[in-house]
Each structure stands twice: as structure tokens, then as C-alpha cells.
Amino acid sequence: MTGLDRFETAFPNAWSGARAGLLAHPASVNRALEHAIQVIRRSKKVRLAALFGPQHGIRGQTQDNMVEWEGFTDPDTDLPAYSLYGKVRTPEPEWLTPLDLLIVELQDVGSRYYTFVWTMALCMDACACAGKKLLILDRPNPIGGEAMEGYVLDPAFASFVGLHPLPIRHGMTMGEMAAYLRDHHYPELDLKVVKMRGWRRGDWFDTTGLPWVMPSPNMPTLDTAAVYPGMCLLEGTNLSEGRGTTRPFEIFGAPFVDSAALVKRLAQFRLPGVRFRPLSFQPTFQKWEGRLCHGAQIHVTDRRGFKPFKTGVAVLKAMLDLYPESFKWKRPPYEYEYRKMPIDILAGTSALRRGLEEGAPLDRMEREWNAALPSFRKLRKDALLY
């Protein structure tokens, strides 16, 4: 049972009667596929007074990446619906003034780049400054709460794909993330988390019995979430990460790629839990729109052994090895960062780009990003709820 499933029975009694705002998106549903707006509107615990939406909108109305949307009056509820991915990404003080409480009901995918974490963090900051309460309705980390991978973000590379130090695969739920961020960055925030019931750290989403609803338009399946912690790195390059296809982040390539040569090179890395199949595709939007691309599809064969971040780095290394003249790093701007390289803010460091450009061995780079994980594991320990 998610926090939303338990809303009526587990809502803090001391907060009953509060005027509440709700931060939600299309995957904010209970076990019966009822949206949080309907669940909370009919509840006698709070008076729902405003809606807020992250990237892609409350209704998932913006298909492509980095497309802003404007606020509106919700036709079903006649409530104001405020955009936190448009002119602003932090709630305006006047939006919070009529409220006592902000409820956050967002499905994350377990990767530091996924911007919903940082929309939540900015709401935490705004609520702390305005003296408003914040309630997290917790949901599963769909790729489990045990494994961690990737660089811990260097604060010098903070951006909207990473405001505070976290590894790229962080192994936390949104409720745990909120507790961690409160403890380390927003200590004045009045925060409560409605915990899930029945979720264990090793559980993947398809073991929960919960319905999968796309949290964003290019996150269609759990398979997408499984590869995303590594394959999102391709957003920092001129390679297609499969946007504009039916299998984003699982499919990748470019017009200059030889599929067979690429798959042969990737096999030489002996990556655990994954195989690559050569294919060609034609994106309908985004990079290489309408152009025939060649590349590969990722097939995860053992998700417990699979290392998504190492796999994504291996893809970049293979492309640099095979196509040094054609492969390019994307230039700014990217996710509201106008100076730093997109690959650097995605990685949370320039060490990844420099290592790849210098031809560093993949295993040596893995040892480097693994070095900071034990310290982070200790830091997050007190925030774990399960």
C-alpha cells in the first residue's frame, strides 16, 4: 500500500482540516487507479485548495524533454494549477500563502537526474521559508532500495538534475529522500511522511502488485526505469537516446554508427546482466528527427547483476572509441544550466568526461565513482524508513 492508499487512515491527526495544495502528476494514483486529486478531494482530512505540477505537467501534457508549460485553472475541480516547470521551478510565495500544507505525491524512478526529486526539494525549501507544512505520500523506488551506483554529485556541478550531493542511482524512496534532504539541507521544515506498507528494500515495482503508470511520457515501462540511470547520460551527447521511438533509453544510436561494430565493441566490456542487439530506427522527434539511425537495443538479462550506470558509460566509451570525429558532447543550455557542459551536470562532475576523453579504462572509472558510495550510504542511513 502506497502513502496515497493509506491517506485516510495514516494522515496526521494534528494536521486535520488544513488547507492543502497537491503536487502530483499522471502516476499519482492509488491501487484502484484513482488519481490523488480525486482521493484527496473526497477526504475529510484536508480541504484541497490548489494543484501543482512538475516537469511534463499534472496531466503529462508535454511529451518532449525540457518543454515548459503554463499554469491554468483545472476544469474538473476549478482549482488553480500552478506550473513548477515553466517561468519558475519554485512555488511563488503568493501561491503558498492561502495554504497550510503542501502534499507531495510523485512517482520517482530511482535516478538522481529525474527532476521530480528536485521539484520536491525546491518545494521543501519554499515551505520551510514560508512556514508551511509538507507531507510526502511515499511510493516505491521502482528499481529497488539497495543498489547504488555512479558519482556522488560535486556541489560545484549543482543544477536542476542534481541540486544536492547524491549518487546517480540513489536507492531511496521519495519519502526517504525528503527525510535525507530535510536533515541535511532544510532542518526548519515541518515534514511528515505517510509510509508505505509492505514494501521491502529489495522490491522492484513489478513485485508490488501496484499498477505501473507512466510518471513521464518517455518512461513507459519498468524496463525503461531499469536502464535510465545510465542511458540518460546520452542526453549530454549528439547520440539519440531513443526519444521519438517506442522504447526510449533502451534504444540508442545515430546516423554515423555501424550497428554490428558497436555491438561487437560493447561485448568486449563483458558487462554483467545485459546484452545488446543491433538495430536501426528513425526518431519521430528530438535528436536526428526523421533520420535513419543505427545503433543497438539494450536487453537486461539479470537486473540484479545489471549495472545501469556502468553500462551507460560503456556506451559512451564505445562511441568515442569507434567514432571520435563524429561523436560530440552536447553544448549548453541544458535543464536551465547555461555554462556547464550537459554531460558534466548529468554526471555531477567533470571527471567522467575527462576520463572518457583521456581513454581511461572503464573498470578504473568505476572504482573512482564507487569510492564515495560507502560514505553516502552512512549519510543516508538515518533517513531510511524501510
Q: What residues are paired with 13 via a beta bridge?
A: none
At position 291, the amino acid (one-letter code) is R
Measured between its terminal Cα atoms, the distance across the chain in Å is: 13
Q: Which residue has the cell 513548477?
A: 84
Residues of the chain with CATH 3.40.50.12170: 7-217+378-383
Whether 208 contacts 315, CB under 8 Å: no
Q: What is the number of H-type helices and E-type strands within the chain?
A: 12, 10
- Report pLDDT for 63: 67
Q: What residues are paired with 35 via a beta bridge?
A: 29
In order of 222, 282, 298, the CA distances from 244 in angstroms are: 18, 8, 17
At position 82, the amino acid (one-letter code) is Y
**Burial zone of 332 (CB within 10 Å; 0-12 exposed, 13-18 middle, 19+ buried):** middle
Q: What is the pLDDT of residues 193-217, one digit of tens each?
A: 999 999 999 999 999 999 999 999 9
| CATH classification for the domain delimited by 222-371, as one of 3.90.1150.140, 3.30.160.250, 3.20.20.60, 3.40.50.80 | 3.90.1150.140
Q: What count of other Cβ atoms lies within 10 Å of the Cβ of residue 150?
A: 32
- Report pLDDT for 51: 98
- Report pLDDT for 66: 73
Dist. CA 215–CA 381, nearest whole Å? 27
Q: What count of other Cβ atoms lies within 10 Å of the Cβ of residue 190?
A: 14
Q: What is the pLDDT of residues 113-150, one digit of tens each?
A: 999 999 999 999 999 999 999 999 999 999 999 999 99
Please state the rounded mean pLDDT for residues 242-256.
97
| CATH classification for the domain delimited by 7-217+378-383, as one of 3.40.50.12170, 3.10.20.30, 3.10.450.50, 3.40.50.2300 | 3.40.50.12170
- Percent of all residues in the chain with a pLDDT value above 70, rounded to a whole number: 99
Rounded to whole angstroms, the maximal C-alpha distance in the chain is: 63
Whether 197 contacts 203, CB under 8 Å: no
Q: What is the pLDDT of residues 17-74, one digit of tens each?
A: 999 999 999 999 999 999 999 999 999 999 999 999 999 889 877 766 678 889 889 9
- Report pLDDT for 57: 87
Residues of the chain with CATH 3.90.1150.140: 222-371
| Long-range pairs, 204-209, Cβ under 8 A, ≥24 | 204/142, 204/143, 204/144, 204/303, 205/140, 205/142, 205/143, 208/140, 209/31
Q: What count of other Cβ atoms lies within 10 Å of the Cβ of residue 264?
A: 14
- pTM, whole model, 2 decimals? 0.96
